[in-house]
Every structure is written in C-alpha cells, then in structure tokens.
Amino acid sequence: MKDSVAIGKEADMKKDFSQSHSNDRSIHRVRNVPDLQLGSLRSVIDSIRRDGSSPSVESIATELSGMPAVQRASVLLALQQTHGNQYVQRVVTGIQAKLTVGKPGDIYEQEADRVADAVMRMPEPGVQRQPEEEEEEEEEEILKTKDVSGPTPEVASDFESRIHALWGGGQPLPEAVHTHFEPRFGHDFNNVIVHTDAETDKLARALNARALTVGQDIFFRQGTYNPGSSGGQELVAHELTHVVQQSARAEPMVQRDTPPGTAPEEQKKDPELEFGRKLWQEFPAGVTVAFYDRHEPVAVSRVKGWAIRERAIAAKRKPISAKNLVFGKAFPDSYDIKTTLPALGKVLTAASTKAGKPKAIQPLPGTGPSRIRVLAIFSHGSTGWLGIGSGITSNTAKSIIKSIAPALTTDVNVVLYACSAARSPSAKESWYKGTFKPGGAKSLAGVIRDALVEEGMKHAEVWGHTTGGHMTKNFALRIFYATHGKKQPGEAYAGEFVLGTVEEVIALLELEEEITKKGYTIPPEITDAFQREVYRWLSGGLYSLFYKCYAEADKKLKYRGVNLAEMAPVDPLGVAEVIEKYWKNTFWPKKKPILVNQLIRKFKLQKLPSSGE
C-alpha cells in the first residue's frame, strides 16, 4: 500500500503541525487544569517570555497575581518542587504586594452598578422587547452611583494576609447561578469561588462592604449572599462584573460593594483622567464599539448581551464626552456611524493622552486605547446593503470607511451581524458552500475589506454571513482578510478554523486502521480502487459530515454561555476548539463504524485467516 504509506506520512506531518500550532495558540488553556502543575508553570514562563521579560520572582509574582486561586496554587506547588520553599515564599510575598484596594464610587464600581442593573433588566433568552420599549430605555438610562455619605474605614495592614489565608476555601458558584448569569455576561464563571464564612464576614465588615471581590474569589458579608432573591441577584451580578473586570487586569485588587454610609471619594476626581487610566489599563490595544438598528427587535435584543459581554463602549447621552461614555452598551443607529466614530476617537485620544502611557505598556503600531479594534453592526442586510441608519451600501461603504479610518486600529475586526453580507450578489444562496467554501469577493463585506486596504488597515478583517437567517445564530460565516489584498474571496470560517484538510487526512487513516483492526485485508489488486473510492467519498461525503457536525454542535453547544455562531467572530479559536472536540469525541466516533462497514461491504473485503487455521 505505497499510496497509503505516503498519505500516512503526510497525515503525521499535518497532525504534528496541528498539535504544535494548537499548543502555541492556546497555551493559556493549560492553566485551567489544576493538576498539571509543571505544565502550568511552563505556561506562566512562556507567557512572561512572550511579553519580552525574563522569568524572575517579580515577573512570576505579577503573572500569578492575576490568576484564580486554584490555578495559582498549582503553579506554586510546582515551584516548591523545582525551587524550594524559600523561593516560593518570595513569590508569595510578591503576589501579596500586588494587592490593591479599590475606592468606593470609583469608575469600576460605577461600571459594576450599571452592568448589574442592565443584566437584571435583560429578558430571559428567547424573549424580545419591542423597539419602542428599548428606545425609551435608551433615553432613561443613566450612570448609576450610590447615594452615600460618611467615612470609609482604613484597610488594616494585615488585610492582604487575611485574604490569602482564605484562598483555597469557599464553594464554587452554584450551577443555577452559572446558568442564569453566564449567557448574560458571556463569561466563563467556572472558576469563581464564593466565601460566606465567619472570617469572610469580619473582612467585609472591616471594609464596611456588603461584598468584595479579589480575582475570581467573592467574599460576602453575613446575610448578603442570597442569589434566590432579586436584591441578592443584583449583588451577585455586581460582583461578577468585578470578576470580568479583573480578568483583564495584570494585578488583582479588592473591589467592594459598599452600603449606604460610605463616601465616594473618587467622584471628586477628573472624569477624563480616570477614564484615560481605565483605557490604558484595560483596553491598551483598542476598544470595542457596536451599532444596532433600533427598529429591528432581534438586533435590539441580541446587541444588549453582546455589548455587556464584549464591554463595548457607547454614549449614554449626547454629546460624546468622557463623562457620557460607558462600557457594556451599544450605539443605536440614531447615532450616525460616519460622524460618531471620529468624535469618539477624539475623546479617546484626549483621555488616554491626559492619563499618559504607562511604561509597562507598549501597543503595537497602529493600535492603542485611542482607537477602535472591534466594530460590530447588528441589522437587516443583503449582499450589498446594511439597514442601519440611512443604510450602508456597496456604493457608500468606501466613503464611510474613509471617514472613520483614523479612529480604527490597523488590525480592526469588523463584524457584520446581518443576512448575506458575505455573499456576492450573483451567487446563489447555499448553506453548505457558504459554510465551507471561499467566495463573496463582490459582497458588501468584500467591498468593506477593500476600502480598509485602501486606507492602510493592513491587518484588518471583515466577518459576515453568507445566507439569510438569524443575525447571531447563523453559522455560515466568511472572513475577508486585508492581507489577502483587494477583490479576493473571503475564507470560510468552518474550513479555515474548524474542520478541514487535517481532519480529512486523519479520517482516511482511521478508516483504514479500523478495517485492519476488524481483521480485514485490502487485496493489492483493489488498493488503488479503494483509495480512489475513499478519496471520492472524502471529497464529498466527509465534508457533508463536517457540515452536519458543525451544524449539530452549533445547535447543542455553547461557548462562554453563548451560541457558537455569535462568538466565532470575536473568539474564532475558542469556538473552533469546542467544535473540534465535539467532532473528535462525539460525532466522528459514532459515524466511523458505519462508514467502515459500508466500505467493507462495497469492496467485499475478506477477513484474514486466523493464526490457527
């Protein structure tokens, strides 16, 4: 079976490349396996090196300080084995030195108040509000702060050690709370730990706080943790917002929800300066912005959760200014995209300039907190039109991009949550081709990519749907890369990221292996025919299975609590991993025996004689 040997070598090379590439692109996932202590340590060291630093007590402490307690313990145990107790103690001391305490009423508390309020007002999945309701809400929504007064206690010098002493205790967030909040935040809360013991109560009282959050550990004052009540849910939502906030920080901090009687000192500070500091700290590579058709109920419904999850920035009222900008919100299309984004860019530039760039942050050229890195549009659409505001068409897209280009990063990701925006006008609608085949060079998404190329957005990409359907559940997606140049077709997401050539070759090998395991032989005289038949099947039948698996996974599975199609444009690798695992562990094992039996019958293969015969 000469051909088979050659195929095998090719498959091994592709498999090795795939595994190596997968490890490189997802090394952070190693941290999510607590018992792989040495693997976690290697992950930390690799992360430090990628940032251009050398592993040291200080750099390791900085990296560990932003990790959940369980994963941090895994790395510390590995360090204990490799470097000894004294080294570990130095690292722990470094971690403790990183712990800071947030002020009541600061920008993070304000954001947590607003997001918690928005989350509590979100409808159950599947429920859509009418546009009139939503528009009314847009006008009424304001940035909420506590109506409080009175002094805040000083933080005791032993506070950090008391916090660290509680790490390792507590209980995981209950499943019912997961189910309720994860789809609303679009964030994985599997590692969140809840503390409600007596020592936790003392800590909360010492800070005059109802609850406090450090990393992924939430500490509740006695009697305040009641996720079964409306008020209790709002407090949990507030603290989970802090979990999301701190997931983007290099260093942990104590964030507390204060009861009436605490003075919001931070409200006295310059809002533009505070806003600029937040931009540098949490959005050093650029911000996320979304626009939606306020007259389309599905767009109104879907954009709300998306904006909270992606921490999109928008104005709660006009004019666009630092004090009027909030995170977790999208722009209705009453804001004209052509004038709004340049105005937003000016505000971002002024705030980030006033705050000053921290020495430790080095944005890549063409990026930074003063620019927009993700631009999403939720609306009706077609192959050459988006129904947002006065409309974006293949004829007007170029001038719009030219106007907003100075506000965009050079690697901007434009996501069109709209029907058929990635299919050329002359192409027929096909779910299969739209899912697995390149195309759409003359589509609206292709035209927008071409305009971005003309404006020097060298690493931009544009995502769009190739068919009609639900704007965030449609899984037929294409990506148009600026690096490919103008007038080039878009790549199919499913074939590019999920199931493609590597899986195709591996499937061929596994079919042959299964035939051999069953005791059948492939006579030399039919080997060529067998290979041709398998290849013929692979070219059509296997991709038909890929499509069915992809569609089934999209229907059954979630990523960060959200449907896969909605998440693919913002985290394509994470979604691809979910589907690949489903293929490998669930779908393909069920289909493979059926195909083996079909091939055995088709070629009338004979079993090898047993050794006793």
Has residue 560 been placed in a domain?
yes
> Are both 474 and 332 inside the same structural domain?
yes
Cβ of 548: how many Cβ atoms within 10 Å? Answer: 12
Specify which residues 212 forms β-bridges with: 219, 256
The structural domain count of the chain equals: 4
Tokens of 381: 């659409």
In a domain? residue 15 = no
* The domain boundary residue, chosen from 79, 98, 117: 98
Identify the residue whose tokens are 């002359």: 426
350 and 263 within one domain: no
- 212 within some domain: yes
Domain membership flag for residue 6: no
In the prediction, which pLDDT does 541 show? 72
In a domain, 24, yes or no: no
Assess if residue 10 is contained within a domain: no
Most confident of 167-176, 325-334, 446-455, 560-569: 446-455
Percent of the chain with pLDDT over 90: 34
Q: Which of 428, 338, 459 is nearest to 390 (CA)?
A: 338
Query: Could you tell me if 281 and 313 lie in one domain?
Result: yes
CA-to-CA distance for 235 and 253, rounded, in angstroms?
18
Q: Determine the pLDDT at residue 361.
A: 80
- Domain shared by 415 and 303, yes or no: yes
- Same domain (yes/no): 473, 509: no
Give residue 138's pLDDT.
37
Q: How many other CB atoms sit within 10 Å of the CB of residue 606?
A: 12
pLDDT in tens, 582-593: 999 999 999 999
**486-514: pLDDT as tens digits:** 999 999 999 888 887 778 778 878 888 88
Q: Which residue has the higher pLDDT, 6 or 532?
A: 532
Residues 462 and 351 in one domain: yes
- Same-domain check for residues 387 and 452: yes
- Between 162 and 37, the higher pLDDT residue: 162
| The pTM of the whole model exceeds 0.85 | no
Q: How far apart are CA 7 and CA 505, in angstroms?
A: 7
Same-domain status, 230 and 284 = no
Q: Give yes or no: residues 357 and 449 share one domain.
A: yes
The answer to whether 123 and 300 are in contact (CB under 8 A) is no
pLDDT at 229: 82
pLDDT tens-digit series, residues 296-319: 999 998 998 899 888 999 998 889
Q: Please indicate, yes or no, whether residues 193 and 318 belong to a single structural domain of this protein.
A: no
What share of the chain in percent tops pLDDT 70? 69
| Domain endpoint, select from 98, 126, 147 | 98
Residue 21 lies in a domain: no
Q: Are residues 304 and 159 in the same domain?
A: no
Predicted pLDDT at 15: 36
pLDDT score recorded for residue 256 = 52
Higher pLDDT, residue 404 or 128: 404
Between 463 and 123, where is the model more confident?
Answer: 463
Residue 190 belongs to some domain of the structure: yes
pLDDT reading at 374 higher than 70 = yes
d(CA 118, CA 314): 14
pLDDT in tens, 38-78: 555 666 666 665 565 556 666 677 777 666 555 666 676 66
Strand-strand pairing, 325-327 and 392-393: unpaired
For 200-239, how does the pLDDT look when each residue is reduced to its tens digit (9 = 90+)? 888 888 777 888 888 778 889 888 888 888 788 889 988 8
Q: Last residue of a domain, which of 211, 236, 268?
A: 268
Q: Are residues 223 and 299 in the same domain?
A: no
Domain extent at residue 53: 33-98
β 520-521/606-607 pair status: antiparallel
| 423-473 per-position pLDDT tens digit | 999 999 999 899 999 999 999 999 999 999 999 998 999 999 999 988 788
Contacts of 112 (CB under 8 A, 6+ apart): 238, 239, 241, 242, 245, 255, 257
